[in-house]
Chains A and B, each alone.
Chain A
Amino acid sequence: MQEAANSEQRLDAAPAQDRAPLRLPAILVRTESAAIAAFRAEACVKPGQGVPLTFPFCWLALPLVRSAIVEMVGAGFLPLHESQNFQYGRALEIDSDYQLVVDLNRTESPPRLKVRAEVSTLAGEPCVRFETVLRIADIAQAAA
């Protein structure tokens, strides 16, 4: 009887806890014309030479941001893109420098990672905010 009770207590473990939000140090980013041109060639874009609407998302692949995302997603898990939004206050200009600030917030039940980013001019004027919501899937469970 005691063994069964102990077993029930082990099964009744505390649920995974939400992690504390993480703000990364501000990153200097640039809308390099070569990178924009390469992106324009493969994404779906409107005519012209401007910075495509979804281009800022590429900055989430920068080493500092990427490693934070990978760490928060965890080994053995896949990030699945659940939703995305962009909010523009001013258009980005080609061959210009901006500041990128990224906040990451992992929540559980179900496991999700929210990545919020803000791009502003070096003078601090906000240009675009975007939010990425990733559903975190267990690869082993998905295969089963």
Chain B
Amino acid sequence: MSLAICEGSSADWPKVGDVIGPFSFGPFDAARLARYAAVSGDDNPLHLDQDVAAAAGLDATPVHGMLLMSCFEPALDAWRSDFSIAQISAKFLRPILAGQGIVICGRVLRATYDGEAELVLRLMARGPDGDLAILAEAKMARPSVGGA
């Protein structure tokens, strides 16, 4: 299955400014971090060892950035299950610590259907205090089943 932008009609195409979310994920406890490390291979001791986290100036082990980033896919699927993520870029700005969760929200940044179809979203994941933990941008596409 390949990904194409311009399947469907303009009537159901998202519009600039459309709000996404909020969607909550977590909290992610230390046991979840250990299990995620086991299945992902990301066993950086920073995420698993309190002493290493403390040495890095943190009050607790931080949640894996990739575990947090994985939340964007179900969030966007909940928003529009007829689209898939063609591209996503994320900047990790602040750690989310073990025991905390995130809230993902966003907005449609660009949405053009005619000509060069494009759907671009600005996404944010915020921690418990509302601080911005992850800033992301995603480009969405509609899967074209059986298409080239």
Given A85-B89, A88-B85, the answer on whether A57 and B40 have CB atoms closer than 8 Å is: yes
Are A39 and B66 within 8 A (Cβ)? no
* Chain A positions within 8 Å of B64 at CB level: 81
- Bound CA–CA A66/B43 (angstroms): 11
A residues whose Cβ falls under 8 Å from a Cβ of B: 35, 38-39, 41-47, 52-54, 57-58, 60-62, 66, 78-91, 137, 139, 142-143
User: Which A residue sits closest to B95, measured CB to CB?
Assistant: A80
B residues whose Cβ falls under 8 Å from a Cβ of A: 1-3, 25, 32, 35-36, 38-44, 46, 52, 55-57, 64-67, 69-74, 77-78, 81, 84-92, 143
Given A91-B1, A91-B84, A137-B56, the answer on whether A39 and B71 have CB atoms closer than 8 Å is: no
Are B3 and A89 within 8 A (Cβ)? yes
Top 3 nearest A-B pairs (CB, nearest first) are A61-B41, A46-B77, A85-B89
Are B66 and A90 within 8 A (Cβ)? no
Are B70 and A45 within 8 A (Cβ)? yes
Are B66 and A57 within 8 A (Cβ)? yes
B73 contact from A45, A57, A66, Cβ within 8 A:
A45
Are A52 and B88 within 8 A (Cβ)? no
Are A82 and B73 within 8 A (Cβ)? no
* Chain B positions within 8 Å of A88 at CB level: 3, 84-87
Interface of A: prevailing SS: mixed
Given A52-B70, A54-B66, the answer on whether A42 and B57 have CB atoms closer than 8 Å is: no
- Bound CA–CA A54/B67 (angstroms): 9
User: Which B residue sits closest to A125, measured CB to CB?
Assistant: B2
Q: With both chains docked as a complex, state the minimum distance between the C-beta of B133 and any C-beta of chain A, in angstroms.
A: 12
Are A84 and B85 within 8 A (Cβ)? no
Are B65 and A44 within 8 A (Cβ)? no
A-B contact pairs, 28 of them (CB 8 A): A39-B40, A41-B39, A42-B36, A42-B38, A43-B36, A43-B40, A43-B66, A44-B67, A46-B78, A52-B70, A53-B88, A66-B41, A80-B56, A82-B92, A84-B65, A84-B89, A84-B90, A84-B92, A85-B89, A87-B87, A88-B84, A88-B86, A88-B87, A89-B2, A89-B3, A91-B1, A91-B84, A142-B56
